[in-house]
Chain A
Amino acid sequence: MPKTEIRVGGLGGQGVILCGHIIGKAAAIYDNKHATLIQSFGPEARGSACSAQVSLADEPIGYPYVKRPDVLIVMSPDAYSQFAPTLKPGGILLYESELVSLDEKLPEGVTAYGIPATRLAEELGRRLVLNIVMVGFFVGTTALVSAEAAERAVVHSVPKGTEQLNQRAFRKGLEFGLNLTGQGNGGPRHDA
């Protein structure tokens, strides 16, 4: 796998950093690849902007910063506005479809996949797991890490007692992503 750069953006309290952490952990610990993570927070915790930069590669990674991501995961309108223009041409945008609306900021040739992650998380019982739904969605749409590795990373990253709900959240996002990309039961695809 060539070096793939990923940025996760959203608001504090949405689990942006944990989302990036789990993707990197899945690749580095369970898929025997290399991964780096850079995290940044706003001056306040909940509700302020934050993002994670994740790089994945088969070889050791010399430069961990992500300037032009291949994959952008956004969970808030602000994160979309800030980071969508930085997506590489031909890149992939994964977005929270009930919070983010696509517009002309999206570079041409980008493939965009949306998921109502917050609603799906609420339906599972806890809004808190929307980031884990996004991890599953990322795996289902990009296959950059294996589903098995990602699920193990989820289970080994979340607090004791919450594993099962997080596992369900992961699988919900995975299934949604697989269906959307035609690898599951089929579904629409939106190309920007």
Chain B
Amino acid sequence: MTLEGYPRDLTCKDGTTLTVRPVEARDKDALLAFYRELPEEDRLFLRDDVTSQLWADRFMASIDYETVIPLLAVTADQEIVANGTLYRTLHGWTRHVAEVRLAVARPYQRRGLGTAMLRELVRVATSHGVEKIVASVVDNQVGAIRAFEKRGFHREAVLKGHVKDIRGHKRDLVIMANDVSHIWEAMAAMVADYSPTLGG
């Protein structure tokens, strides 16, 4: 399995150069280590217990680069500093939608890495024909919301009191969405085989 266009270099705001590439089988232990290093408050809002070996086994088995497309940002020493994954279905009424989940190591936060990873994920999503990309963010994750907004996402819905933070306080869950269907509308117009000035 391969993902076209990768690996590729990515430069943070401070000039740090990282490599973005798909997750491979050899990354399982390093990915687990990356998530175990995340502070508990960062991990709390993730959907799965990403510190468990069972999660790692299941996640690695689910990767097919079609419905589960995970990207890593790694240092020159192959240390994982960010993981962003696109999830999509190939059938059903949301087959045009992909969900993005993203985690960035604390030392690499506020360096533009999240925004850069989102750019890559949006690129991968459109290369798979996706029309809409969504993400779930807790209302106090200001940096994450800003990163999503920089990449064209907007607040589409708020689920009140939907999640509990580390202290057990209920918080709002913000659904961010990026509608990229306009690029497909442009493509549809191009293949319409119609010219208002030519005919017959």
Question: Which residues of A does B touch, CB under 8 Å?
Answer: 10-18, 39-46, 50, 124-126, 128-129, 131, 158-162, 164-165, 167-168
| B107 interface residue (CB < 8 Å to A) | no
Specify the chain B residue showing the minimal Cβ separation from A127. B129
B66 shortest CB reach to chain A, Å: 9
> Which of the residues B129, B190, B195 comes within 8 Å of A159, measured between beta carbons?
B190
| Contact residues in A for B190 (Cβ distance below 8 Å) | 15, 18, 158-159
For window 112-143 of chain B, which residues contact chain A by CB distance below 8 Å?
Answer: 123-124, 126-130
**Interface members, chain B 179-200 (any A CB < 8 Å):** 180, 183-184, 186-188, 190-195, 198-200
Closest to B195 in A: A41
The answer to whether A128 touches B188, judged by C-beta atoms less than 8 angstroms apart, is yes
Asked whether B41 is an interface residue with its Cβ less than 8 Å from the other chain, the reply is: no
- Taking CB atoms, residues of chain B closer than 8 Å to A41 are 193-195, 198-200
Whether B77 sits at the interface, judged by CB under 8 Å, is no
- The answer to whether the Cβ of B15 comes within 8 Å of any Cβ in the partner chain is no
| Cross-chain contact A128 with B127 (CB below 8 angstroms) | no
Q: B192 to chain A: which residues have CB within 8 Å?
A: 12-13, 45-46
- Whether A126 contacts B194 by the Cβ 8 Å rule is no
Q: Which residues on A sit within 8 Å (CB–CB) of B14? A: none
B70 to chain A, nearest CB (A): 17
Known contacts being A131-B191, A159-B187, A161-B183, is A43 close to B127, with CB within 8 Å? no
CB contacts (< 8 Å) of A129 on chain B: these are 187
Which of A125, A128, A158, A160 has the most B CB atoms < 10 Å from its CB? A125
Q: Using Cβ atoms and an 8 Å threshold, which residues of chain B touch A161?
A: 126, 180, 183, 186
A164 touches B193 (CB 8 A): no
Residues of B within 8 A of A162 (CB): 126, 183-184, 186-187
Task: From known contacts A12-B192, A45-B193, A164-B5, infer whether A125 and B187 are also in contact, taking CB-CB under 8 Å.
Answer: no
B200, A128: Cβ atoms closer than 8 Å: no
Residues of chain A within 8 A (CB-CB) of B40 are: none
Residue on B nearest A50 in the bound complex, by CB: B193
| Bound CA–CA A160/B182 (angstroms) | 10
Chain A positions within 8 Å of B4 at CB level: 164, 167-168
| A164 in contact with B191 given A41-B199, A126-B184, A159-B183 (CB within 8 Å) | no
B188 / chain A contacts, CB cutoff of 8 Å? 13, 128
Could you give, for residues 1-32 of chain B, a 1 whenever the CB lies within 8 Å of some chain A CB and a 0 otherwise? 00011000000000000000000000000000
Contact B191 A125 (CB under 8 A): no
Closest chain A residue to B130, Cβ basis = A125
> Are the C-beta atoms of B191 and A168 separated by less than 8 Å?
no
A165 and B191 form a contact (CB under 8 A): no
B126 to chain A: which residues have CB within 8 Å?
161-162, 164-165
Chain A residues near B186 (CB-CB < 8 A): 159-162
Q: Which residue of A lies closest to B128 (CB)?
A: A125
B184 and A128: CB pair below 8 A? yes
Q: Are B187 and A158 in contact (CB under 8 A)?
A: yes
Min Cβ gap B93→A in Å is 16
Q: Choose from B127, B194, B200 the contact partner of A165 (Cβ within 8 Å).
A: B127
Distance between Cα atoms of A46 and B194 in the complex (Å): 8
The CA of A184 and the CA of B174, in the complex, are separated in Å by 49
